[in-house]
Structure 1
Amino acid sequence: METLSTISGWIWDPMAYFALGIGVFFTLLTKGVQFRRLPDMIKQLKAGKSGDGGLSSLQTLALTLASRVGVGSIAGVATAVAAGGPGAILWMAITALVGSTCAYAEAVLAQVYKRRIQGEDRGGMPYYIKYGLKAPTLAAVVAVVTLIGYGFVFPGIQANNIGSSAQLAFGLEPWMTGLAITAVLAVVILGGTRRIVNVAQAVVPFMSLGYVLTAVVVISLNLEQVPEAARLIVSSAMGTDPLFGGLVGYAVAWGVRRAVFASALGLGEGTFASAAARASHPGKQGIIQAFSIYIDILLICMASGLMIVITGAYHVKDPAGGFLVNNVPGTVAGPNFMQEAIDTGLPGWGSVFVAVAVLLFAFTSQVFFFYVASTNLVFLLGERRSRFLEGVLKAGALGISFVGTVISADTMWAAGDIGYGLIGWLNMGCVLLLTPVVRKVIRDYDRQRREGLDPAFDPEQLGISGAEFWARSPEKTREAEPTA
């Protein structure tokens, strides 16, 4: 465990600042597209349509949120507060505001370099590395690492949190919970892409709305504590709080780290759903993915953070050993913080509600993780099919779903941090190298919007090579039409 934590620190400590820096860079490059195109974000959710192997914008948002709104939105916020103090919450919000442009850039690249394979629109990290950077070997390495991570490692984190919250709420042994979720997961993933999308589209809005409504109730019951909680969060983040001021470095590092983990910002996770969207211009899917960061971090994660702080249901570790604050003795940082927080306002409701929320959040993440893993397998195989490898992937996804519930939480989080960190470094480096493509796309989108047109993408006109899908798609030949 000590070795895993050390390795995780080597990877994440510098990457936290790197991710924040990339967000600032793309914010300047796109002239704050995440702010000035906010009306477009809402409009595009209604505009896209599914069909012919592609998904609608709303479906891809639901599929992406199935991953982004996961246990990181509950357990991740709790672990950030435990390690970095209340100030970590503000740094999560700052990361979302500037880092959403990284999600924009990823989605744009995923759309530009997607392919039609086996009758479906597929794309993501390995595709823009291969066809954009012209680095097929690196693309294959990224695909293999991502396949292993999302197929055989990361789902274990989701399963582990489902098991621990169910044990606290219902007294169920983790292995019993593991068997149940593995059986349901099997039904979903054996149904193919369409069933995966249908599950995400049905569950994500329901679980997000229920969680936010519960947060509103808890915060309302503790309304007098909100000003002091806000002061504590800001002063801790800025290093001026008498108790937590010395943790400002930890607040930044853990706030950014958990924001990246909760939203998969910069990790390329959302690129696989982004590529499946049917849109007339990559810029449209880019702003939708930026919007998904807002929903996850500025809505779900901030709701979690506020509930924890205003109810005092947290502890903060002292880097020198022990605790600076220990309001919940014996409680493990994670879903248990949230259960304690809700119980303060709604006694007896916290354990059950959080267990159900974690179940829904984590399960939809597991479903999406399988979609990511299978997309990387499709990339490696191309138009070929391998029933054997597809079977191995399904068996691995189901196996880690069960095993993850009985492995220690610290081990699963440490292993997950290492895997996510490695993928993050690879992806963000490649996205930076493809900055000229992102610049061309955003400028083209802005030009057409200024002219009152519904943007249509023509890669040849912009001097972008390798965009095979667009060269032969209906969108390529469609004339830009005036916006309604």
Structure 2
Amino acid sequence: MIVNLFIFSFFIIAVFYSFKYRFIQFRFIKESKKVLKSERSSYAAFMMTLASHLGAGNIVGVTTALIYGGPGSLFWMVVSCIFISIFSLMENTLAVKYHEIINGEYRGGACYYIKNGLKNPKLALLFCFFLLLANTIFFGPLQVNTISESLKIPFNISDELIIGFLLLFSFLVIFRGTKAIISFIEKLVPIMTIVFLGVSISTILYNINHLPGVFNLILKDAFTFRSVGGAVIGNALIIGLKRSAFSNEAGLGTAPTMSSMSKVKSPVSQAYVQVLGVFVDTVLMCTLMGLMILVYDIELSMFEGCSLAVYIFEVIFSNIGMHLGSFLLFTFAMATWVSSYYVGETNMLFLSQNMNIKKKLIHNIYKGLFILTTISGVLLNGKQVWDFIDYGMMFLGSINLYAIIKLEKIFKKELKNYFDM
């Protein structure tokens, strides 16, 4: 119940700020084009952000939303994205403004603007601690669980082999540092995105005569009220808000870690690039995934998240569909899993700097936690994983929202400077 109250309050505050700033976040297409064309570091940050966003939340997040929230949850995922994208503009502006150079690289994020902007090092350390927990215990297991299921469903691979593969990959790619992570992400993200867009758009166009009925079903279910946690509330609304927030992460304070790696003329320009990522993630990718499922008359309650995702590809492409669905599950979850390590590493460096802990020691501790998460993600079931995620979002979102509201004057000043340029 407390998570539902948080996510609803989170949405209402986003509505307020969107109207206050006259939906200024909608300028993201025009503004992001400028900086992506001219700034190499901005493109790298954008790819990292897309990798972080375009993970299990886009496929398994959508399927679980449809299973537990009904078709109407897709409507609320999109509506939520439209409003909470204002948080993305605010937090990423602050992240780039307060980033620092550490070991020759730009590093930053929510804990940096909480410390340097709010002048509240204790709250910054608390957020850093929660983010490290979220990245390992709360969010990490979903990506690993999805990778695991994507290999088990078509190939029936044992848990031991999957754990061995993921640990080997960690040492060969993830633990080699930022350059290796960015190189991997820049190769993987465009491929998986193009494949997904091609498959989903062609499937929807092939079934275009079903779309009017699907849209009618979505809108009708979006305003159907059921009992949730003892209160009469829109089940589709709450599930949609939760899955949207997890999928695009706007306002949670995680994405600013990626945006802060960029070197740009104005913090606002990079923030608009991050807003573009939010819309690509939810309004485009999640909507396409949801429509691709709903154009087929499937009994959703018979499935769990991963199995429904693979099944829909089997329905569309027959035998090859299982492998195509598993490939997309694997690549989307893999990209997010890899980028999540970078987020944790940046916050680990912050912890090292501000608690006078040897960098090598805390780095090894974080690697150990990352490995334990990998093992637990393979062994846990999907329902347990989603429960962890909801609490992780609440811990991070509440602190980050407090920070960006308190730093609103700084955001307004940067906004004015940007449009006066």
Tell me the TM-score normalised to structure 2 length. 0.94
| Number of equivalent positions | 415
Q: In the aligned structure 1, how far is the partner of 2:232 from the partner of 2:296? A: 21
Tell me the amino acid that sits aligned with residue 161 of structure 2.
M
What's the CA shift for 1:82? 1.5
Name the counterpart of 1:321.
Answer: none
Give the aligned residue type for 1:207. M
The percent identity for this pair of structures is 27
The answer on 1:255 being equivalent to 2:232 is no
**Could you give the per-residue CA deviations for residues 150-189 of structure 1, whole angstroms, max 9, x where no partner exists?**
1344221111111123211222223322221221122112
Indicate the SS of the match to 2:101.
Answer: strand
Contact 1:313 / 1:340 at 8 angstroms: preserved in 2? Answer: no
Q: Which has the higher contact order (CA 8 A, sep 6+)?
A: 2
Whole-Å separation in 2 of the counterparts to 1:186 and 1:252: 41
2:96 aligned partner: 111
Cα deviation per residue 1:216-245 (whole Å; 9 max; x = unaligned)? 22223322211111111122213399xxxx
Distance in 1 (CA, whole Å) between partners of 2:138 and 2:73 is: 26
Cα distance change of structure 1 residues 314 and 288 upon mapping to structure 2, 3 Å threshold: farther
Corresponding residue for 1:394? 367
Q: Matched residues in 2 for 1:431 and 1:118: separation?
A: 27
Contact 1:87–1:236 (8 Å) recurs in 2: yes
Report matched runs for 1:150-229 at 5 Å.
150-229=135-214
Q: Distance in 1 between matches of 2:349 and 2:316?
A: 48
- Whole-angstrom CA distance in 1 between matches of 2:127 and 2:86: 22
SS in 2 for 1:74: helix
Q: What is the Cα deviation at residue 37 of structure 1?
A: 4.3
Are 2:6 and 1:15 aligned? yes
Equivalent-residue separation in structure 2 for 1:154 and 1:40 (angstroms): 31
Per-residue deviation, 1:126: 0.6
2:16 aligns with one of 25, 32, 48: 25
Which one-letter code corresponds to 2:340 in the other structure? F
Larger CA deviation: 168-177 vs 356-365: 168-177
For residue 277 of structure 1, what is the aligned residue in structure 2? Answer: 262
Instruction: Give the CA deviation at 1:281.
Output: 0.4
Tell me the residue number matched to 2:402: 429
Please say if residues 63 and 200 of structure 1, whose CA atoms lie closer than 8 Å, have aligned partners that are also in contact.
yes
For 2:399, the aligned partner's letter is L
Letter in 2 for 1:371: Y
Distance 2:380 2:247 in 1: 21
Pair 1:350-2:342 in alignment: no
Distance 2:298 2:398 in 1: 34
Question: In terms of mean alpha carbon deviation, does 64-73 or 422-431 score higher?
Answer: 422-431
Between the aligned partners of 1:30 and 1:379, the Cα distance in structure 2 is 32
Structure 1 residue runs of 5 or longer lacking an equivalent are: 1-8, 50-55, 316-325, 449-484
Of 134-143 and 27-36, more deviation after overlay is shown by 27-36
Q: Please, which of 335, 338, 346 is the counterpart of residue 375 of structure 1?
A: 346
SS in 2 for 1:311: coil
Structure 2: gaps spanning 5 or more residues = none
Q: How far apart are residue 252 of structure 1 and its match?
A: 1.0
Give the match's secondary structure for 2:22: coil
1:359 aligns with 2:330: yes
CA–CA distance in structure 2, aligned partners of residues 31 and 446 of structure 1: 15
Q: Cα deviations across residues 274-331 of structure 1 (Å, max 9, x unaligned)?
A: 111110001101111110011101111111110111113352xxxxxxxxxx4xx3x2
1 or 2, which has the higher helix percentage?
A: 2
Please tell me whether residue 97 in structure 1 is matched to residue 82 in structure 2. Answer: yes
In the alignment, what sits opposite 1:38? 29
What is the letter of the counterpart of residue 19 of structure 1? F
Distance 1:442 1:314 in 2: 48
1:443 maps to which residue? Answer: 416
Which of 270, 274, 280 is residue 289 of structure 1 equivalent to? 274
SS for the counterpart of 2:265 is coil
C-alpha distance in 2, partners of 1:344/1:163? Answer: 22
Residues 1:314 and 1:292: Cα distance change in structure 2 (over 3 Å): farther
Q: Deviations over 1:17-65 (max 9, x none)?
A: 222223223323433222234212222211113xxxxxx1111010011
Q: Identify the residue that residue 69 of structure 1 maps to in structure 2.
A: 54
SS at match of 1:133: coil
Contact (CA 8 Å) 1:117, 1:382: kept in 2 or not?
no
Residue 264 of structure 1 aligns with an amino acid whose one-letter code is E
Distance 1:348 1:248 in 2: 41
Contact 2:17–2:86 (Cα < 8 Å) also in 1: yes
Paired with 2:85 and 2:12, the residues of 1 have a C-alpha distance of: 12
Q: Deviations over 1:352-375 (max 9, x none)?
A: 112111111111111111111111
Distance 2:225 2:364 in 1: 55
